[in-house]
Amino acid sequence: MPDGVSRQGQHHRIREMLAVTCIWATAIVVSLTFGWILLDLLRHGLAHLSWAYLVESPSDAGRSGGIAPIIASTFLIVAVCMSIAVPIGIGTALLLAEYSVARSRFGRFVRRSLDALAAVPSIVFGLFGSTLFCIYLGMGFSILAGGLTLACMVLPIFIRTAEEGFRSVPDEYRRGAAALGISRSATLFKIIMPSAMPALVAGFVLGIGRALAETAALIFTSGYVDRMPESLFDSGRAMSVHIYDLAMNVPGGGKSAYRTALVLVAILLLINGSASWLMHRWVRHGAT
Amino acid sequence: MTSSMRRDSSPWRADTALIWTLRLLAAAAAGIVLLILVFLLIESIPALRTIGLVRFFSDASWYPLSDRFNMAPMMAASLLVTVGAIALAIPLGFGSALFCRYYAPRWIAGAYRRMIEVLAGIPSVVFGFWGLVVLVPLVTHSLIAGILILALMILPTVALIADASLARVPEELIHGSAALGLTRWGMIRRVILPAARCGLMTSVILAVARAIGETMAVLMVCGNVVQMPKGLLDPVRTLTANIALEMAYATDTHRSALFVSGLLLMVIVGLLIAMAEWISKGRIYA
The confidence score (pLDDT) of residue B11 equals 65
Distance from chain centroid for Cα A67 = 22
> What is the maximum span of chain A, computed from C-alpha positions, in angstroms?
86
Q: Are strands A64-65 and B62-63 parallel, antiparallel or unpaired?
A: unpaired
Residue with more model confidence, B250 or A133: A133
B46, B49, B54, B59: CA torsion to nearest 10: -60
Residues of B numbered 98-127 whose beta carbons fall under 8 angstroms of chain A's beta carbons: which are they?
98-99, 103-104, 112, 115-119, 121-127
Residue B25 falls inside a structural domain: no
Test A37 with B125 for CB contact under 8 angstroms: no
Residue B17 included in any domain: no
Q: Which of A118, A22, A30 is nearest to B93 (CA)?
A: A30
Rounded to the nearest angstrom, the minimum Cα separation between A46 and chain B is 15
Closest-CA residue to B239 (of B264, B256, B220) = B264
| Closest partner CB to A110 (pick from B30, B91, B188) | B30
B135 CB neighbour count, 10 Å cutoff:
20
Q: How far is A137 from chain B (nearest CA, A)?
A: 13
The C-alpha atoms of residue B150 and residue B89 are separated, in whole angstroms, by 9
Cα distance between residue B71 and residue B260, in whole Å? 10
| Chain B interface includes A254 (CB < 8 A) | yes
User: What is the tens place of the pLDDT at every residue in A67-101?
Assistant: 999 999 999 999 999 999 999 999 999 999 988 76
Find residue B236's DSSP bridge partners: B223
Residues of chain A contacting B212 with CB distance shorter than 8 Å: 121
Give a yes or no: residue B248 inside a domain.
Answer: no
Helices (H), chain A: 2-47, 51-55, 68-98, 105-119, 122-129, 143-167, 171-179, 184-186, 193-195, 197-213, 216-219, 239-249, 254-287
B81-90 as b/e: b if 16+ CB within 10 A: bbebbbebbb
- Within a domain: residue B167? yes
Can you spell out the DSSP letters for B212-274? HH--HHHHHHSB---S---STTS-B--HHHHHHHHTTT--HHHHHHHHHHHHHHHHHHHHHHH
Cα B93 to the center of its chain, rounded Å: 14
Query: Position A223: which residue type?
Result: G
| Most A CBs within 10 Å, among B20, B125, B153, B261, to test the A interface | B125
Q: How far apart are CA B69 and CA B57, in angstroms?
A: 8
Name every chain B residue with its beta carbon within 8 A of the beta carbon of A123: 213, 215, 240, 243-244, 262, 265
Instruction: Compare CB distances from B96 to A30, A96, A128 and report the shortest one's residue.
Output: A30
Single-letter residue type at B136: V
SS3 A33: helix
Residue B6: per-residue pLDDT: 42
Residues in chain B: 286
Tell me how far apart the alpha carbons of residues B244 and B254 are, in angstroms, rounded to a whole number: 13
The answer to whether B275 faces chain A, any CB pair under 8 Å, is: no
Q: Which residues of A touch B123 (CB under 8 A)?
A: 212-215, 240, 264-265, 268
Contact B273 A119 (CB under 8 A): yes
Residues A136-175 have pLDDT tens digits of 999 989 999 999 999 999 999 999 999 988 988 888 999 9
Distance from CA of B266 to the nearest CA of A (A): 7
Taking CB atoms and an 8 Å cutoff, what residues of chain A touch B28? 88
Number of A:B CB contacts under 8 A?
263
| Chain Cα centroid distance, residue B106 | 30
Q: Is A17 in contact with B103 (CB distance < 8 Å)?
A: no
Here the ipTM equals 0.89
Whether residue B53 is contained in a domain is answered as no
> Interior CA angle at A179 toward A176 and A182, to 5°?
90
For residue A283, the model assigns a pLDDT of: 62
Evaluated on CA atoms B209, A221, A212, A67, the torsion sign reads: positive
Residues in contact with A138: Cβ distance below 8 Å, sequence separation at least 6, in sequence order:
none
State residue B136's pLDDT score.
Answer: 93
Contact map slice: A 45-64 vs B, CB within 8 A:
none
Chain B CB within 8 Å of residue A88 CB: yes
CA angle A146, A108, B203 (to 5 degrees): 70
The CATH number for B228's domain is 1.10.3720.10
Q: Which residues of B touch A18 (CB under 8 A)?
A: 185
Which residues of chain B, if any, have pLDDT below 70? 1-11, 281-286
Domain range enclosing B104: 75-238
B275 in a structural domain: no
Q: Determine the 3-state secondary structure of B98 from DSSP.
A: helix
Please count the structural domains in chain B. 1
**Inter-chain CB proximity A19 and B35 less than 8 Å:** no
**Which residue in chain A is spatially nearest to B249 when comparing CA positions?**
A220
Give a yes or no: residue B92 inside a domain: yes
Q: Between residues A184 and B91, which one has the greater pLDDT? A: B91
User: CB contact, 8 Å: B265 with chain A?
Assistant: yes
Task: Kindly determine whether residue B12 and residue A183, on different chains, have CB atoms separated by under 8 Å.
Answer: yes
Q: What is the DSSP letter of B110?
A: H
| Integer Cα distance of A121 and A138 in angstroms | 24
Please, which pLDDT band fits residue A287 given cuts at 50, 70 and 90?
A: very low
Closest in B7, B185, B270 to A19, CB measured: B185
Total-model pTM: 0.89
Does B39 fall in a domain? Answer: no
Q: Name residue B134's amino acid.
A: V
Beta-carbon separation of B23 and A31 below 8 A: no
Nearest to B16 by CA among B26, B24, B8, B4: B8
Q: Which of residues 122-181 of B touch A (CB under 8 A)?
A: 122-130, 132-134, 152, 155
- Contacts (Cβ under 8 Å, ≥6 apart) of B60: B68, B70
Which residue on chain B is closest to A128 by alpha carbon?
B36
State the average pLDDT for chain A. Answer: 89
Facing residue for A243 by CB, picked from B14, B36, B125: B125
Is A22's Cβ below 8 Å from some Cβ in B?
Answer: yes
